[in-house]
Amino acid sequence: MTEDGFTTEDRSMAGDYQPISCELYSKFELWIMRQQSLRIAWRDADGGDHIGTVIPTDMQTQSGSEFLCFTDTVQDKPDRVRLDRIIRAEVFGTSD
């Protein structure tokens, strides 16, 4: 864990970051503004696959990579994932 409460991202992989499309980036920004619950699937730096229900809270840039910051709804803790490691993201449930 880093001082800001996030897990340490594999910084040696920052050089291989592949920017996501502007359209998808805009969707993440909108989901953050609306505080919509998301179901996301991602691959970690070691190649492990994960699926979780999260509340997106912010976007960050660090060492040339962009990250989605979120609160895991099961563990109620902050975390983040590099945007190009997200395999799938969709709104979970309704905001009504």
Q: Is residue 44 part of a domain?
A: yes
Residue-level pLDDT at 19:
95
Residue-level pLDDT at 79:
95
Q: Is residue 13 part of a domain?
A: no
- The pLDDT tens digits for 1-58 are 444 444 444 444 456 899 999 999 999 999 999 999 999 999 998 999 999 999 999 9
Q: Is residue 85 part of a domain?
A: yes
Confidence of residue 69 (pLDDT cuts 50, 70, 90): very high
Q: How many CB atoms lie within 10 A of CB 80?
A: 22
At 29, which CATH number? 2.30.30.100
Confidence of residue 94 (pLDDT cuts 50, 70, 90): low
Please report the DSSP string for 14-66 in residue order: GGG--PPPHHHHHHHHHHHHHT--EEEEEE-TTS-EEEEEEEEEEEEEETTEE
Q: Is residue 30 part of a domain?
A: yes
* Residue 33, domain extent: 18-91
Cβ-Cβ contacts under 8 Å for 5 (sequence gap 6 or more): 77, 78
Q: Is residue 6 part of a domain?
A: no
